[in-house]
Amino acid sequence: MRKIVLAPLCALVTVAVAACSPSGPDKANPELAPRGTQMTKVKPTKQDMTTKLSIAGKVEMNPTFGLVAPVAGQVRYFDVPTPNGTPTKPIRVATVWKDGAPNYVEAPAGSTFSGRLVDDKATVTAGMPLATAKHVGYAIVGDIDGQQAYKISGALTDVTVQIKNGPGPFPCTVLGTIAALPQGTIPEKPPVTPDTKDQKDQKDPQPQQPKDQPQTPSSATGLRIVCTAPADVQMINGASASIEVTTGKSAQALVVPVEAVAGQQGKGKVDVMQPDGSRRTTDVTLGLTDGKVIEIKSGLTGDEELAVPGPNLPEGQQQGGEPQQKPTGP
């Protein structure tokens, strides 16, 4: 009797096990593939690249913006007279001397000089804010964060603005730089000394120094972009606007999918497929990216086949740097 009862029980166990077992060849789930497993391969292609950055902004009256040093050197300030009206020509406010040659800093036409940001005769670096100016009239202002500032630094020549529920898109002329002071923190302008000369007399490359006008430099506390619209664009103070900055252009750039590259900017690495199916990790110099493809500026000829995904590098090498050192002691 015991044998008759056990036989069906074993049969049930056997059936249950068989139902849970695969009935055909083992097939790997792509979602569970080990990290670094090659999924496909690609060849570099060429295309025109344009990268843009959008910034939220608004229309403001009489905004303040910054003027920066064109080169590294020693700054010497002019004694700027108080204008009798809105200047129609650029106003020379400082000179940066390098290798015995002057490099002038000017407030653009339609703006007035507001104050200094560093001491006279200070040594400055290229791109360092030196002074502030105030635009007379309407302008579009966009406040930006530090990460955006690095992306658009040096790329403020191609700016387009769309005013919400208003005019646009239209080209916007950049007045100054992204480094500026918020309104209300500008130092008072120094008094004009009797020997102050007119702007037309400031052709002497060595500007005259102001006399008896101690001035405490203001600290730069804001990052912003300030630009002006064409004269025929109607502006309303406080209106919201979208500012689009073209951060880079490259004609017929050699590009690969971002998944094929280890790294995001500067230097990176790719895996080049060899005839025998092996990989050769190669250093490359990276350029523009739109989030889908990334420019390869050097390191590839364009005839290679690359493994996708790219090389699986330690965290310390993701930006092309050296591996991070880990402590070996207790």
Residue 169, in any domain of the structure: yes
> Is 305 within a domain?
yes
Residue 70's pLDDT is 92
Domain contains 277: yes
Closest alpha carbon to 108 in 140, 86, 125, 127 = 86
Residue 273 Cα to chain centre, angstroms = 33
Q: Tell me: the pLDDT tens digits for 122-169?
A: 999 998 889 889 999 999 999 888 777 777 766 677 899 999 999 999
Residue 174 counted as domain residue: yes
- pLDDT attached to residue 212: 46
The CATH code of the domain that includes 211 is 2.40.50.100
For residue 285, what are the domain limits? Answer: 40-50+248-317
At 91, which amino acid appears? Answer: I
**Residue entry with tokens 């560093």:** 118
pLDDT of residue 179: 72
Whether 270 and 231 share a structural domain: no
pLDDT tens column, 182-216: 554 545 454 444 444 444 444 444 444 444 444 44
Identify the CATH number of the domain in which residue 45 sits: 2.40.420.20
- For the chain, which residues score pLDDT lower than 50? 1-2, 4-33, 184, 186, 188, 190-216, 219, 318-330
Predicted local confidence at residue 93, as pLDDT: 94
pTM > 0.95: yes or no: no
Q: Are residues 149 and 280 in the same domain?
A: no
For residue 151, being part of any structural domain is answered with yes
Instruction: Look at residue 200 in the predicted model and tell me its pLDDT.
Output: 45
**How high is the mean pLDDT of the chain?**
77
Q: Are residues 258 and 298 in the same domain?
A: yes
- Give, for 8, the enclosing helix (H) or strand (E): helix 2-20
Asked if 154 and 228 sit in the same domain, the reply is yes
